[in-house]
Each structure stands twice: as structure tokens, then as C-alpha cells.
Amino acid sequence: LFASTFGRHIWTYEFPASARMDSDPIEEERQARMAALAATRGGATGGVLIVLLTLLGLRRRATR
């Protein structure tokens, strides 16, 4: 951590190893929100639609 004041001093501080986090709490919260959003909006629907469109495209190509 670096801190300074306007024209006065610059301080540095190194946090001890025991104060470090193994995971990122902000990223964990974002992933939890995305999972909740997908669950409320039928997240699997998009995957099924992609598979159906791919199969239809392959079928159309095979009949030409």
C-alpha cells in the first residue's frame, strides 16, 4: 500500500502474509449473481436453442 499527502510525505506499508485472501470476494459475488440471474431467466433455454439451430443447419446442409 502506498499513501501520500500533498507535498508532505509518502508512506508504504506491506500487509503480512496472513492478511492475504485466497479468493476474490467480488468475483465470487458476481458469479453468484450471474447464476441467480440464469436460474430466474431459464438459463438452459439458450443452450437448447443453440443445439436446435445447429442441428437444423446441419440437416439443411445435408439435404442440399
Q: Quick check: pTM over 0.75?
A: no
What tens-digit pLDDT sequence spans the chain (64 residues)?
888 887 778 889 888 888 777 777 788 888 888 887 777 665 566 777 788 888 888 877 666 5
How many other C-beta atoms can be found within 10 angstroms of the C-beta atom of residue 38? 13
CA pair distance 57, 42, nearest whole angstrom: 24
Residue 6 DSSP symbol:
T
